[in-house]
Amino acid sequence: MKIQYAEDYDYKDGDVIVVDDVSVTYISYDGDCVDKEPQTLTVSSKNNGTARFLNIKTDKEGFSISDLNDLKIIIEDFNNRAGLKDEKSND
């Protein structure tokens, strides 16, 4: 059995489990928020039939960061967890 992304699926491959959607929610309990309520940031990936797109969604108050590198770390973490391909390296 193989596990692969929906856009790579070929019905001739046989016994395959297809990954179509991936979603990870990050929670900050002590971030830069003023009221100290937890903040959430959800990053998801979905194949819309032509390509895979990322969607970034925050809770109603937003997701505050003081360093842009923190957002880079989150996106890189999602990339690793979701197993997304790096189109530059043709993986």
Euclidean distance between CA atoms 53 and 82, whole angstroms: 12
Q: What is the pLDDT of residue 89?
A: 46
Euclidean distance between CA atoms 28 and 6, whole angstroms: 31
Interstrand relation of 16-19 and 21-28 (parallel, antiparallel or unpaired)? unpaired
What tens digit of pLDDT does each residue of 4-53 get?
555 565 656 566 666 678 899 998 876 555 566 788 899 998 877 777 78
Q: What is the pLDDT of residue 62?
A: 82
State pTM to two decimals.
0.68
Question: Contact 6/22 with Cβ under 8 angstroms?
Answer: no
Continuous segment of H or E residues that includes residue 26: strand 21-28
Collect all residues with Cβ–Cβ distance below 8 Å to 10 and sequence separation of at least 6.
none
Higher pLDDT, 21 or 85: 21
Extents of the domains making up the chain: 20-82
Q: What is the pLDDT of residue 88?
A: 47
Q: Is the pLDDT of residue 3 over 60?
A: no
